[in-house]
Amino acid sequence: MNPLSSIRIAFAALRLNLMRSMLTMLGIIIGVASVITMIAVGAGAEARIAQQIDSLGSNLIIVVSGAITSGGVRLGFGTQMTLSEDDAQALQREIPEILVAAPGVRGTAQIIYGNLNWSTVIFGTTTDFLAARDWGVAQGRPFEQAEEDRAAKVALLGQTVASTLFGSADPVGQLIRIKKVPFTVVGVLDRKGQSMQGQDQDDTVVMPLSTARNRVLGGSEVSRRAVGAILVKMREGADMHAAGTQIHDLLRQRHRLQPAQDDDFWIRNLSEVAQAQEASSRVLTLLLAAVASVSLVVGGIGIMNIMLVSVTERTREIGLRLAVGARSRDILGQFLIEALTLSLTGGLIGIAVGAAASFTIGHWAHWQTELSMPAILLAVGFAAVIGVFFGFYPARKASRLQPIEALRYE
Q: How far apart are CA 81 and CA 65, in angstroms?
A: 5
**What pLDDT shows up at residue 306?**
80
| Per-residue pLDDT reduced to its tens digit, 160-209 | 999 999 998 999 999 999 988 999 999 999 998 877 666 788 999 999 99
Quote the Cα angle for 336-339-340, to 5°.
85
| Residue pLDDT, tens place only, 377-386 | 877 787 888 8
**CA of residue 43 relative to chain centroid, distance:** 6
Q: Tell me what percent of the chain is helix, strand and coil, each rounded to the nearest 5.
A: 55, 20, 25
Q: Which helix (H) or strand (E) holds 402?
A: none
Phi, psi of 259 (to 5 degrees): -55, -30
In terms of Cβ atoms closer than 10 Å to its own Cβ (0-12, 13-18, 19+), residue 331 is: buried
Averaged pLDDT for residues 279-300:
74
- pLDDT at 78 > cutoff 60: no
pLDDT band with cut points at 50, 70 and 90 for residue 339? confident
The helix/strand/coil state of 254 is helix
Q: Where are the alpha helices (DSSP H) in 214-269?
A: 240-254
Of 52, 98, 67, 54, give the one whose Cα is nearest residue 230: 98
Sequence letter at residue 187: G
Angle in degrees, CA 107, 110, 114, rounded to 5: 150
- For strands 154-157 and 204-208, give the pairing: antiparallel
Q: At residue 275, does pLDDT exceed 80? A: no
Q: What is the reported pLDDT for 408?
A: 63
**194 SS3 class:** strand
Looking at residues 388-392, what average pLDDT do you find? 82
Please write the tens of the pLDDT for every residue from 82-110: 899 999 999 999 999 999 999 999 999 99
Q: Judging by DSSP bridges, how do beta strands 98-113 and 137-140 pair with one another?
A: unpaired
For 140, phi then psi, to 5°, come to 75, -140
Mean pLDDT of the residues in the chain: 82
CA distance 45 to 285: 9
Domain limits, the chain = 3-52+276-408, 81-263
